[in-house]
């Protein structure tokens, strides 16, 4: 079984400075990033933005998404891991937290040139790996960095965002609270992925809003089994088998047709040109799938 595929974009080493992952020259983080399942119908996101603006008005917020399906930690983890390598050094705040208010702890994790803040429920784990792995971690126990009034069901506003803003402004990482062993951080199980006998097997990692089905199989895995653009791939979905084209773009096939391709994250995906592959094929996240290159069509 191969490990979780992470982006090839390098984030660099953690600067050697006690309790601080920031540059020796730049004293503050210029950016925060923000990912949640809060949606856009209510004022939850705006309230968190407001908290940050009051504490760290210099820090711009990059909204990754607030449309993670409610409580879907795995989807949040995948989106964060695939987005963070393209963001600048930042304090990354992620909140998909069905256990809010329970004994689960809030954490700040230094990885690469950034800090990750959120619940210790595995949400941050894939992004931390993509950033180079956890260097240090702290439990968010310093109430001086929280809002004065903390409600049990809105830690994004009352704990995570104010701590992030303080770290972006002038606080050392160690000020977040008690240091904890990085080996004890909650992690999500790695998606299944295996290459053997000219077949790459894996699972559905995510389904995006277009219905494109992203697999845990990488484009490099596809190359390893002999699959090239212009070729044909045998896709096995449980007891079903489909013979599909492997192409570079959706438009390489006709409207309404299925296509297999390497997506922008470097993972193999299945799509319908102008439609939803997830709906067409009934493929939810976690579904088992395998691909085999069955022959190649060489274009001049």
Which residue reads 């097997």 in tokens? 201
- Residue range 193-295 forms a domain whose CATH class is mainly beta
Nearest residue to 172 (alpha-carbon basis) of 63, 91, 60, 105 = 91
Domain with CATH 2.40.30.90 in the chain: 193-295
- Residue range 31-184 forms a domain whose CATH class is alpha beta
Q: What are phi and psi of 237, to 5 degrees?
A: -125, 90
For 102-115, b where at least 16 C-beta lie within 10 A, e where not — what string?
A: eeebbbbbbbbbbb
> Tens-digit pLDDT profile for the chain (300 aa)?
555 565 433 333 333 333 444 443 345 799 999 999 999 999 999 999 999 999 999 999 999 999 999 999 999 999 999 999 999 999 999 999 999 999 999 999 999 999 999 999 999 999 999 999 999 999 999 999 999 999 999 999 999 999 999 999 989 999 999 999 999 999 999 888 999 988 999 999 999 999 999 999 999 999 999 999 999 999 999 889 999 999 999 999 999 999 999 999 999 999 999 999 999 999 888 999 999 998 544 444
Domain with CATH 3.40.50.10790 in the chain: 31-184
Which residue reads 């619940």 in tokens? 119
């Amino acid at each position: 079984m191969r490990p979780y595929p992470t982006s090839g974009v390098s984030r660099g080493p953690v600067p050697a400075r006690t309790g601080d992952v920031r540059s020796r020259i730049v004293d503050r983080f210029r950016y925060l990033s923000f990912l949640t399942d809060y949606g856009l119908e209510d004022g939850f996101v705006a309230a968190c933005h407001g908290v940050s603006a009051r504490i760290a008005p210099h820090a711009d917020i990059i909204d990754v998404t607030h449309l993670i399906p409610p409580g879907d930690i795995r989807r949040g983890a995948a989106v964060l891991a695939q987005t963070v390598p393209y963001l600048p050094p930042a304090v990354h705040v992620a909140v998909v937290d069905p256990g809010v208010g329970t004994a689960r702890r809030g954490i700040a994790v230094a990885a690469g040139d950034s800090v990750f803040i959120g619940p210790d429920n595995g949400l941050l784990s894939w992004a931390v790996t993509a950033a180079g792995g956890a260097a240090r971690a702290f439990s968010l126990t310093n109430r001086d960095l929280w809002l004065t009034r903390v409600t049990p069901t809105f830690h994004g506003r009352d704990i995570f965002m104010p701590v992030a803003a303080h770290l972006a402004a002038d606080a050392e990482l160690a000020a977040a609270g008690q240091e904890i062993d990085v080996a004890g951080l909650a992690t999500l199980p790695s998606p299944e992925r295996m290459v053997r006998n000219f077949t790459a097997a894996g699972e559905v990692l995510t389904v995006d809003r277009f219905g494109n089905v992203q697999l845990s199989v990488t484009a490099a895995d596809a190359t390893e089994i002999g699959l090239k653009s212009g070729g044909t791939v045998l896709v096995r979905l449980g007891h079903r088998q489909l013979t599909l084209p492997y192409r570079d773009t959706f438009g390489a096939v006709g409207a309404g047709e299925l296509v297999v391709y390497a997506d922008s994250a470097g993972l193999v995906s299945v799509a319908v040109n102008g439609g939803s592959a997830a709906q067409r094929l009934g493929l939810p996240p976690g579904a088992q799938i395998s691909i085999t290159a069955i022959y190649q069509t060489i274009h001049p």
